[in-house]
Structure 1
Amino acid sequence: MTDASLLRRVNTRATLGALRGEGLATLTQLGRLTGLSRQTVEAVLDELGERGWVREVPPDEGVMGRPARRFGFRADAGHVLGVDVGANKILVALADLNGEVIAWERTAVSEGAEAAERLEAARRTAWACVDGAGVSRTSVWAVCVGTSGIVDRSGRVTLSLVLPGWTGVDLAGLAGRWFDCTGLAANDANLAALAEHWRGSAQHASDVVYVLVGHRAGAGILIGGRLHPGRTGAAGEIGALRQVGWELAAAELVSERPATEIFAAARAGEDEALAAVDRFAENLAIGASALVLAIDPDLLVIGGGYSQAGDVLLGPLRRHLTDLCLSAPAVVMSTFGDKSVALGGVRLALDHVEREVLDL
């Protein structure tokens, strides 16, 4: 890269970053923010306009004199998808380049569905989400899929004990083909943790443990605000340790009636339901406390389908964690519930677009 092209790239990055931060800005404002001359800023904006990433905003009506030219970032120039492929559902979030979700699409899927059927359901749901929003499929710049199991850095599922035929699936590669764009894949609990740190319950925390609780339990870890998937993508898979008892605890909780009924009965003060929730909370706390003792996080976030239980689950869980941990962190419920995984996929896809496409 020549000195001139490198300088142009640096100037473009600075101008685009400043414009995205401001929303709308004049040439003078952008010059002050970037330290670049008015002439340089204007040249960069012309180039970004040709790419379709920047638009000139008409002056407000009634403004006297010659108004300053204002520019805005075109968040609709491209889109990203976050996809949650679960045991019973496919959930897709379509977002613009500012991360604002403009459409959701949900499809039920059989827990026993084979890999090909599940992948086809995910593809159809992703297409329906984009088409239903009136967005061109060619405007999708990145897709990120979240799923249970261990997902390596290439986006391949290296081990899944929940979804039939899922081990070995090149999830990132297949997802990229849906829209002929970059495909990404990650563990669902990791993506949920990312979503909570981005816009949810963990926005102001640096080191976070996220425990996804539903038909199964899993955990995601953020250290210094960044995902910590580990060497093979298996960080946080403490439920794989049989002695922790997470799998048995989840099965025991719903052995006689659905979880929603148990939590509702506990909320109403039924002794049997309260005892069942307390046993579940104690087993959940054993695995969570192991992660807390290893990482010493700022915050523990409880998410997934069972997070809807609220204080019915949170109260006994906090009590058991206090007994098990040297210094228990604050424990909160997820902001987004079962939408966290798809939103985390949006964030990871945006990270790729900002780094590789927008060059921020």
Structure 2
Amino acid sequence: MARLTGGDPSLLRRINSAVVLHALRTAAPAAAPTLTDLVKVTGLSRPTVEGVVEGLIDAGLVVEAAAEEGEARRQGRPARRFRFRREAGHLLGIEIGPHRIAVLMADLGGRVMGSAAQEIAATASADERLDGVLATVSDLLRRSGVPRGQLRAVGVATPGIVEADGTVRLGTALPGWTGLPLGERLRRSFRCPVLVENDANAAAVAEHWKGAATASDDVVFVLAGLSPGAGSLIGGRLHRGYGGAAGEIGALHLLGREATPEQVLSTTGEPLHPLDEAQVARVFALARSGDERAEAAVERFMRRLVHDVAALVLALDPELVVVGGWAAGLSGVLGPLRAELARYCLRPPQVVQSLLGEAAVATGALRLALDHVEEQLFAVESTVTARR
């Protein structure tokens, strides 16, 4: 922690509060720390720790814990113990996709407390889709007994290129999505910070948090579908690019060198219509049954996917590639991808399948909300830097 000079008692109180709160939050659940423990961990004086703890109790973020069993008999009056109140607020992670809306709710420690999902038509308008989001959230809060005012932050993940303020600059996967001020619309309903991110970016964050990429900080997550997207972590930090469009590998065919997805997956010579997951699953099923045209279409699909991923891998040199999305469940994706990357890359990355599956996007959205709350409560260094 940076050393402060000069008089700024309010800033110093915030720093001390963040230090003590972080120590309480990271303490083992079975061993709530005493004031003496907190003094040792934080390096602060006992009067400072006592004052900070009382302030955190008044703020509802800390509560006195029960004495450990047998402690009173051994020592007379037991030392006061304290714990972080994870239940002092709640977070939401929301996935808004072409076919479904999914919501996860967690406490301030990131522990998932409930979930809800509903199917939605691919043709639904933006207003219908947002109504579906609010209805799904309301149902989850009602079933969980959590008041809306308990929400501290909401993370939202959606297809498209998302700007920093939550506006969808380009979103062709959902009707009426391009230009939608998604963050602004949702903030009216939640009255708490709403953070909006691209779905592949959110999934990359999720896999790094509690999925297949927990041991790696240089990761590419591929959301494999009709038009694949990707999210990247460099040094453990999400790489969004200058305008939020990093990882849009599904647009590579627009360079004019390759066919459109409708042509790639066609088994008749005519563009595949409608181009949806059910149709594509049918093409893969035909290929498995030995249909030669379907086999050729699947081969073209695989070649397109692995070439798109190889372009991003060559640019970023990640340690790990995680493949998710609905196409990751189709047989034969990982093998060709590994072989193609071995051909093109000087140091081919490890290639694995997502461990979170269809929960990856909503889980990543939840992590975004948790990151925001942690920054508000625990980011001592950023606080110091901002006030210099």
Q: Could you tell me which residue of structure 1 aligns to residue 3 of structure 2?
A: none
Matched, 1:239 2:260: no
Structure 1 or 2, whichever has the larger Rg, is: 2
Give the letter for the 2:44 counterpart: L
Tell me the residue number matched to 2:363. 343
Q: Give the match for residue 317 of structure 1.
A: 337
Q: Deviations over 1:190-240 (max 9, x none)?
A: 000011111111111121111101343111111111111111111111211
Aligned position for 1:60: 68
Mapped partners of 2:149, 2:137: distance in 1: 13
Contact kept in structure 2, 1:189 and 1:220, CA below 8 Å: yes
Please tell me the residue identity of whatever aligns with 1:135: V
- Given the alignment of the two structures, is residue 15 of structure 1 paired with residue 20 of structure 2, yes or no? yes
Return the offset for 1:308: 2.9
- Do the aligned residues in 1 keep the contact of 2:89 with 2:151 (CA within 8 Å)? yes
Q: TM-score, normalised by structure 2?
A: 0.85
Aligned residue number for residue 27 of structure 1: 35
The C-alpha deviation readout for 1:289-327, integer Å capped at 9, x for no partner, is 000001111111101122234x63212221222223333
Find 1:303's aligned residue among 320, 324, 336.
324
Q: What's the CA shift string for 1:134-193, capped at 9, x where partnerless?
A: 111101011111111100111100011111111111111122222211111010000000
> Equivalent residue for 2:193?
182
- AA aligned to 1:317 is L
**Could you tell me which residue of structure 2 aligns to residue 105 of structure 1?**
116
CA distance in 1, matches of 2:117, 2:281: 20
Say which is worse superposed, 51-60 or 85-94, in terms of deviation. Answer: 51-60
Give 1:201's match in structure 2, choosing from 212, 219, 231: 212
Partner of 1:137: 148
Closer, same or farther: CA 325–247 of 1 in aligned 2, 3 Å: farther
Aligned residues: 357
1:255 CA drift (Å): 5.5
Which stretches in structure 1 are left out of the alignment for 5+ residues? none
List per-residue Cα deviations over 1:110-151 (Å, max 9, x = no partner).
Answer: 101111111111111122122221111101011111111100
2: CA distance, partners of 1:277 / 1:19: 53
Counterpart CA distance in 1 for 2:159 and 2:258 is 18
Partner of 2:8: 3
How big is the alpha-carbon RMSD for the aligned residues of Structure 1 and Structure 2? 2.4
| SS of residue in 1 equivalent to 2:247 | coil
Report deviation, 1:75: 0.7
Partner of 1:150: 161
Of 126, 133, 137, the match for 1:126: 137
Q: How many Å separate the matches in 1 of 2:208 and 2:263?
A: 28
CA 1:246–1:52 in 2, change beyond 3 Å: closer, same or farther? farther
* Cα contact 1:144–1:175 (8 A) shared by 2: no
Shift of 1:26: 1.6
DSSP 3-state at the match of 2:197: strand
d(CA) in 2 for partners of 1:68, 1:274: 71
Question: Matches of residues 68-79 of structure 1 in structure 2 within 5 Å?
Answer: 68-79=79-90
Give 4+ residue runs of structure 1 displaced > 4 Å after superposition: 248-266, 269-278, 357-360
User: Contact between 1:95 and 1:103, CA under 8 Å: does it hold in 2?
Assistant: yes
**Structure 2 unaligned spans of 5+:** 1-5, 381-388
Tell whether the 8 Å contact from 2:262 to 2:272 is kept in structure 1 after alignment: no
Range moving further from structure 2, 174-183 or 71-80: 174-183
Distance (whole Å) between structure 2 residues aligned to residue 92 and residue 270 of structure 1: 37
Asked if residue 51 in structure 1 is aligned to residue 51 in structure 2, the reply is no
Query: In the superposition, relative to structure 1, how do residues 6 and 201 fare at CA in structure 2: closer, same or farther (>3 Å)?
Result: same
Q: Is the contact made by 1:88 and 1:111 (CA closer than 8 Å) also made in structure 2? A: yes
Identity %: 46
Counting only pairs closer than 5 Å after superposition, residues 205-244 of structure 1 correspond to structure 2 as 205-242=216-253, 243=257
SS in 2 for 1:93: strand
1:90 is aligned to 101
* Counterparts of residues 262-277 of structure 1 (less than 5 Å): 270-272=289-291, 277=298
Per-residue CA deviations over 1:251-289 (Å, capped at 9, x if unaligned) read 4499696555666788xx754577655443222100000
